[in-house]
Amino acid sequence: MNMTKGRLLDLGTGPATQAIELSKLGFQVTAIDISENAITRAKRTSKKGIEFIVDDILESKLKVNSFDYIFDRGCFHVLEPSSRQRYVNQVSRLLRDGGLLFLKTFSAKKPSRGGGPYRFSIDEIDSIFSHRFVIESFKETVYQGTLDILPKALFVVVRKKT
């Protein structure tokens, strides 16, 4: 995908791994997390240039149309099902028209034993997002981390409708 550099939000940034790499690539990065601890630690380990904010994506205090791109690795899939439409509405509010959301979740192909993180198929993502977004692309992949067997994951790019 050919992406020009722009304003980018890393939501649910945790240790800011993505935020740091994206900032190095030249994006103007804002990173939010609901956890004050996560933001305090991320600020300590990151170089200057990233704006870190304690913020709940479901009640975000960030301004409308603030971003060209939003990244979410692992936040959406921990939210309760009852919060999903609020999430879609907030992400849509924060993105400019035509802006992109890059979303990584656990995949429905990994059988669930119940409880979060939730797992999604591409059809479920489509039905949750389709009133405000169109799917640009998706890929079945794995969720890199410390587990011996890497969980199956879904990486989806959706574009905000104009």
Ligand X SMILES: C[S@@+](CC[C@H](N)C(=O)[O-])C[C@H]1O[C@@H](n2cnc3c(N)ncnc32)[C@H](O)[C@@H]1O
- Binding residues for ligand X (CB under 6 A): 11-15, 17-18, 32-35, 38, 56-58, 73-75, 78
User: Which residue's CB is nearer to ligand X, number 38 or number 88?
Assistant: 38
Would you tell me how many other CB atoms lie within 10 Å of the CB of residue 107? Answer: 20
Structure tokens at 19: 């935020």
Cβ 130 to ligand X shortest distance, Å: 22
Any idea of the CA torsion for 82, 154, 157, 48, to the nearest 10 degrees?
A: 90
Smallest separation, CB 97 to ligand X (Å):
23
Nearer to ligand X, 113 or 161 (CB): 113
- Least separation in angstroms between residue 94's CB and ligand X is 12
Of 2 and 114, CB closest to ligand X: 114
Specify the 3-state DSSP secondary structure of 127.
helix
CB of 14 to ligand X, least distance (A): 3
Q: Which residues contact 123 (CB under 8 A, 6 or more apart)?
A: none
> Residue 141's Cα: distance from chain center in Å?
16
C-beta of residue 9 within 8 angstroms of C-beta of residue 58? no
CB of 15 to ligand X, least distance (A): 6
CB nearer to ligand X: pick between 56 and 140: 56
Residue positions counted in the chain: 162
Dihedral angle over CA of 95, 57, 1, 26, nearest 10? 90
Residue number with CB closer to ligand X (58 or 122)? 58
